Amino acid sequence: MAWNSIIGQERVKRLLIKTLEQRTIAHAYLFYGPKGIGKSALALEFAKALLCEAQSNDACGSCKSCKQFETLQHPDVHLVFPLPIGNNEKSGDDPYERLTDEQLSTIREQLRLKARNYYHTIEIPKANFIKINSIRELKKQTALARIQSRFKVFVIFEAEKMNTEAANSLLKTLEEPLPNTVLLLTTNDRDQILTTIISRCQQVQCMPLSEDEIIKALIERDGCSESHARSAARLSNGSYWQAQRIIANDIEPYQTEVINFLGYAVTRQWRELIAIVDELVTREKYDIRQWLQLLQLWLREAMVLRETKIDNYSFFHAERCKRFLERYPNARLNEAITAIDRAIAHLDKNVYLPLVITTLALDLHQLITDYQL
Ligand SMILES: [Zn+2]
């Protein structure tokens, strides 16, 4: 039942369900894979099922334990995540004790959002790493008796953000596991975690989601239109988080902008091109990268349209795409897509942005109009 709330990840779900059926619970698990694919959602559902009074392979959703889990305030579940350092916080302090009221209220609000939607990413200002005091608190809690359940579960989000002191402290806990205590770690960056920690955890590799899985989730959970969902899914690299981010920024103006850019490049309208470059330099690298991918996506769709002639294709500016193909039937689209790859590679290497974009504009002009110098 509760597993239904997880997007995709069928292999991991099967693995966890089997673990629950056989009751072969390890002391620690490390859920790893790219950001935004549902690692913490999987960890939380697993924790919920472990604690559920029905003791089956899925959380029942109606017992006392499941009800308490709904608000993420279960007495046998402890969540650990990056927190800001408190005012005059000393080693051994309670990790929350010296935070301001405002910080505490942000944290409460973030946890409320996480409880409502396991795909929510907890974001707290100045929370750059997992504090040693949070791990000390975890150790203190592991030493206390369970309150009502068969297990005591600790979920550590963004485990790569433990600093050395915190990681070494956690390692000791992993080396001397206590019965009925389960640690669930999640990370986007396994390389940042001590190998001694990794080796003491059962590895749960989570893969990027498929485009179809993301499209379905965006339509059903976020109320997206199909064409929007499709564009966002293509740009998301298999990350639901990234797809939601694209939707939240509302990609429509960017879609128009990239097509305009292509038009100006092809027809060599320099004044308009420079205006776009001036606007682009003010944006984050991440957004520029996405902007370039959006252009690439449109050219890919143009290629499909040219090959299949299916004109009810649902994607952005499909009408303009048809006109574009009529005007430039021999455009070297494949090479144009490769030229954008090159531009993205240069962007990643921090090549001067106006140079990257003007070089791309010249390449596109030549490849699309087949103009020879
Ligand atoms: Zn239950």
pLDDT above 70 (res 314): no
Q: What share of the chain has pLDDT > 70, as a percent?
A: 98
Structure-token pair, residue 193: 């975690």
Domains defined for the chain, CATH in brackets: 2-207 (3.40.50.300), 249-369 (1.20.272)
Q: What is the pLDDT of residues 178-234, one digit of tens each?
A: 888 999 999 999 999 999 999 999 999 999 999 999 999 999 999 998 888 988 898
Residue-level pLDDT at 237: 87
**Quick one: pLDDT band at residue 146, thresholds 50, 70, 90?**
confident
CA of 2 to the centre of ligand 1 (A): 10
Report the alpha-carbon distance of residue 256 to residue 198 in Å, rounded.
Answer: 46
Residue-level pLDDT at 372: 57
CA of 295 to the centre of ligand 1 (A): 48
| Residues at Cβ < 5 Å from ligand 1 ion | 52, 60, 63, 66
Mean pLDDT of 310-321: 73
Picking from 20-24, 227-231, 264-268, 314-318, which range would have the lowest pLDDT averaged per residue? 314-318
CA of 55 to the centre of ligand 1 (A): 8
Mean pLDDT of 113-121: 92
Report the alpha-carbon distance of residue 209 to residue 211 in Å, rounded.
Answer: 7
CA of 54 to the centre of ligand 1 (A): 6
CA of 75 to the centre of ligand 1 (A): 14
**Quick one: pLDDT band at residue 301, thresholds 50, 70, 90?**
confident
CA of 65 to the centre of ligand 1 (A): 6
CA of 121 to the centre of ligand 1 (A): 25
CA of 21 to the centre of ligand 1 (A): 15
Residue-level pLDDT at 111: 95
String of b and e for 219-236 (b: at least 16 CB within 10 Å)? beeeebeeebbbbbbbbb
CA of 74 to the centre of ligand 1 (A): 12
φ, ψ for residue 332 (rounded to 5)? -85, 80
Residue-level pLDDT at 249: 77
Does 230 or 262 have the greater pLDDT score?
Answer: 262
CA of 47 to the centre of ligand 1 (A): 11
CA of 87 to the centre of ligand 1 (A): 40
pLDDT above 80 (res 312): no
Q: What share of the chain has pLDDT > 90, as a percent?
A: 74
CA of 1 to the centre of ligand 1 (A): 10
Average pLDDT score over the chain: 91
φ, ψ for residue 155 (rounded to 5)? -110, 120
Which is nearest to 158 in space by CA: 200, 131, 186?
186
pLDDT above 80 (res 59): yes
CA of 5 to the centre of ligand 1 (A): 15
CA of 62 to the centre of ligand 1 (A): 5
CA of 73 to the centre of ligand 1 (A): 14
Does 310 or 274 have the greater pLDDT score?
Answer: 274
Q: What is the pLDDT of residues 82-97, one digit of tens each?
A: 999 999 999 889 999 9
CA of 68 to the centre of ligand 1 (A): 9
CA of 15 to the centre of ligand 1 (A): 20
pLDDT above 60 (res 373): no
Structure-token pair, residue 183: 């640690």
Residue-level pLDDT at 290: 85
